[in-house]
Structure 1
Amino acid sequence: MWQSPLIPYPPAGTGYWTPVTSTLNWCEEDYYATVYFAEIINALTNVLFLCLGVKGIRSCLKNGHDSVFLVAFLGYLVVGFGSFLFHSTLKYPMQLVDELSMIYTTCLMCYAIFSYSKSTSTRTILALFLVSLSVFITLYYHYLQDPVFHQNTYALLTTVVVFRSMWIMEFTLRPSRRKSREEDRLAQLQAGMSVPTKEEQEYQNTRDLKIIKTMWMMVGVGLAAFLGGFAVWGLDNVYCSTLREWRRIIGLPWGILLEGHGWWHLLTGIGAYMYIVWGIWLRHCLNHRQEEYDLYWPRLFSWPDVRRKEQTAHPSKAPYQNGTVKKST
């Protein structure tokens, strides 16, 4: 009869990076597996960020997505690498790299969604405001050294960005909620484009309804991942002593499935990746480039990607950039 392998948990101890200087120490016991990783599961689960970050950067370079999303994926990559260093060492400087990069990347996505179709002066003011906000959060957090401040700030920024994106998606793309098509008609005329006929408009409306349906599915998966991650994180904090007892009863390797903060990394990594890809697809749709790009998402449990269609022209020839009509020369 087959029996699952069970290896007793080694005792927690000290390691290469001792002493711990971070203001946080998670439920995973320190240095129980190797002297080189303070929290080995919490560290290695960040590999998902590294893999998806590289995937997103390659997609941006290959498909010509807006540069703000390239920078967002770079920030996503830094978040994963910073978290890897933090959980490997439990050193305070690495904790700052981990937590503050989350704030900076979210502020970047905040700029991407709030700057769309705004004037240059408005975008400049918004950029200065977000930079000032990031500096304030950095200094104040370093002064307080209170993880609750960081967690609340990150949750608030993420909520603002997600709800703003959903509002724009609904009230800009959904045909029944568009206030008027006149601005689109004028923009198309100024760009030298023909105004769509009734049949063409019906096709565009049907197309956009299908796009919105898929977008809401992405929102659902992303939010489920985020909220699931927060729930597991909370349970990991509240029931840490119980979880440690269970892990020692179960033994290795199955005990690692009860490492709640590791699940937080995996779930938030999925949610953040889904949101950035959703933002890319939304930006292309707002720029009326639905015929140039496709959202490649063959299965629910697969990584979505926005890809440029091979038969379309280079994105630099598109009439819209950042929500404004590109003037012809």
Structure 2
Amino acid sequence: MWSLPFIPYPPAKAGFWSPVTSTLNWCEEDYYATVYAAEIVNSLTNLLFMWLGIKGIISCRRNGHDQVFLVALLGYLIVGTGSFLFHSTLKCKSFDTLSWSRLVDELSMIYTTCLMCYASFSYSRPTGVRLVLAISLLSLAVFITLYYHYLQDPVFHQNAYAILTFVVVFRSMHTMEVTLRPKWRRSREEDRLERQRNGEKVPTKERQHYENVRDTKILKTMWFMVTYGLSMFLGGFLIWNLDNQFCSQIRRLRRTVGLPWGIFLEGHGWWHIMTGIGAYLYIVWGIWLRHCLNQRQDEYHLRWAHFWHIPEVIRTTPGSENGVARDKKST
């Protein structure tokens, strides 16, 4: 028998934004906490996106990261803002003043992933290849937008987002390994000898040893970040699907335990929190990997003292152990 003190769920009522016109309505009950937010938990959990988006944009500008990541973080911020508006109002009528809130919520995820795809595949490519890639990804984004607006089927959006994310993440994993794993550098010994014969500058054995140790540490932390981020994504996706499949049972359970405890059973809210963290980790990983590709590991390092903190790639200051992530203590 439930024994902790609780507040019973209030009866259903009309809200400020009534009637609900969205073709999608998640498992959270509408307007039970306030008349000003249709889904209060699903709305407020988007504040994490908005906070991390602003934090990331400020960090990107302060530390001089590539502009493509600034645009990606702006897209991340738009995802949270659009989702906040959609879940607050559940309005999706044609020509409604907030009719595009749902599309902004969902399609911004596609656009941000396309930007990260461009960042991953365009690096060090000739101008012509980058132009073709940009046009191709822009065309893909337009196609997904128009086709999704026509279908109004969230399954199509989920599949498109999953495929794009899969391609970008595994491409970045491959790039990370080839760039940082010392054994791949050892396989380039012939290139080193060729550069030496041509009178080009090559690192000494001592410098090469230092770089191997440094990059092995960076690689270990990056793999932890990738594993952590993917776990958050997949865990959030699992919770969201359970929320969809067993909504009626979960609603009954929430009403049994009452408020505030029922808030912890809002699966779509957990999806926002977990994917928000996972997506932000991926962008930070992309920023750090780009600096590694540019051979700037001694100029930047990852500040991430504990896994429950928010990581940040910052410029290395004097005395920071030659750029090895001095603030990274727990992983």
Tell me the TM-score normalised to structure 2 length.
0.89
Helix, strand or coil at the partner of 1:195: coil
Mapped pair 1:308 → 2:308? no
**Once the two structures are superposed, what CA deviation does each residue of 1:286-314 show, in whole Å capped at 9, x if it has no partner?**
110000011111112111110101349xx
**In 1, Cα distance between the equivalents of 2:237 and 2:220?**
26
Q: Which amino acid aligns with 2:237?
A: F
The structure-2 alpha-carbon separation of the partners of 1:230 and 1:162, relative to structure 1 and needing over 3 Å to count, comes to same
| Greater relative contact order (CA < 8 Å, ≥ 6 in sequence) | 1
The amino acid that maps onto 2:24 is L
User: Separation in 1 of the partners of 2:122 and 2:193?
Assistant: 22
User: Which residue does the alignment assign to 1:180?
Assistant: 188
Identify the match of residue 224 of structure 2 among 214, 217, 232.
217
Equivalent position to 1:156, from 151, 163, 166: 163
Residue aligned with 1:279, SS: helix
Q: Which amino acid aligns with 1:267?
A: M
Runs of 4+ in 1 over 3 A off after TM superposition: 181-190
Q: Across the two proteins, how many residue pairs are aligned to each other? A: 309
Query: By how many angstroms is 1:147 displaced?
Result: 0.8
Q: Quick one: distance in 2 between partners of 1:184 and 1:22? A: 61
Cα deviation, 1:7-50, whole Å, max 9, x if unaligned, reads 00012232121222222110001111111101000000001001
**Does the aligned pair in 1 maintain the 2:12–2:32 contact within 8 Å?**
yes
CA apart distance, 1:177: 2.6
User: Which residue does 1:39 correspond to in 2?
Assistant: 39
The share of aligned pairs that are identical, in percent, is: 68
- Please tell me whether residue 260 in structure 1 is matched to residue 267 in structure 2: yes
Matched ranges for 1:265-284 at <5 A:
265-284=272-291
Matched, 1:250 2:239: no
Q: Given that residues 23 and 147 in structure 1 are in contact (C-alpha distance below 8 angstroms), is that contact kept between their aligned partners in structure 2?
A: no
1:292 corresponding residue in structure 2: 299
CA separation of 1:24 and 1:194: change in aligned 2, threshold 3 A: same
Deviation of 1:206 after TM superposition, in Å, equals: 1.1
CA drift at 1:185: 8.8
CA distance in 1, matches of 2:90, 2:115: 27
What are structure 2's unaligned runs of at least 5 residues? 93-99, 320-331
Name which of structure 1's ranges 3-12 and 221-230 shifts more when overlaid on structure 2.
3-12
Q: Specify the alignment match of 2:324 in structure 1.
A: none
Amino acid at match of 2:245: V
Task: After TM superposition, give the deviation of residue 193 of structure 1 in Å.
Answer: 8.2
1:227 aligns with 2:264: no
SS in 2 for 1:307: strand
Contact 1:229 1:264 in 2 (8 A): yes
* Cα displacement string for residues 67-117 of structure 1 (whole angstroms, at most 9, x for unaligned residues): 111111111100000100010011222111101111101101110101111
- Which of 234, 244, 248 does residue 241 from structure 1 map onto? 248
Unaligned runs of 5+ in 1: 313-329
| Aligned pairs (5 A) from 1:6-85 | 6-85=6-85
Residue-by-residue CA offset, 1:233-253 (whole Å, 9 max, x unaligned): 010001100000000000001
**Alpha-carbon distance change, 109 to 181 in structure 1, aligned in 2, over 3 angstroms:** farther
1:160 maps to a residue whose letter is: V
- How much has 1:121 moved relative to structure 2? 1.0
CA contact (8 A) 2:118 2:134 kept: yes
**For residues 187 and 246 of structure 1, do their structure 2 counterparts lie closer, same or farther at Cα, with a shift above 3 Å needed?**
farther
> What SS is found at the alignment partner of 2:314?
strand
Give a deviation string over 1:142-190, Cα, whole Å, max 9, x none: 1111111001111111111111100110122111134526668989999
Task: Report how far residue 137 of structure 1 moved.
Answer: 0.4
Aligned-partner Cα distance in 2 for 1:308–1:142: 42
Work out the CA distance in 2 between the residues paired with 1:63 and 1:299: 21
Aligned residue in 2 for 1:321:
none
Partners of 1:185 and 1:262 in 2: how far apart? 56
**1:190-205 to 2 correspondences below 5 Å:** 194-205=201-212
Task: Assess, with a 3 A threshold, how the Cα gap between structure 1 residues 186 and 215 changes in structure 2: closer, same or farther.
Answer: farther
Inter-partner Cα distance in structure 2 for 1:50 and 1:292: 28
- Report the residue type matching 1:91 in the other structure: K
Contact 1:173/1:212, CA 8 A, preserved across alignment:
yes
Alpha carbon RMSD of aligned pairs, Å? 2.1
* Cα gap change, 1:90 to 1:120, in 2 (>3 Å): same
Partner of 1:111: 118
> Partner amino acid for 2:43?
A
Report what 1:169 is aligned to.
176
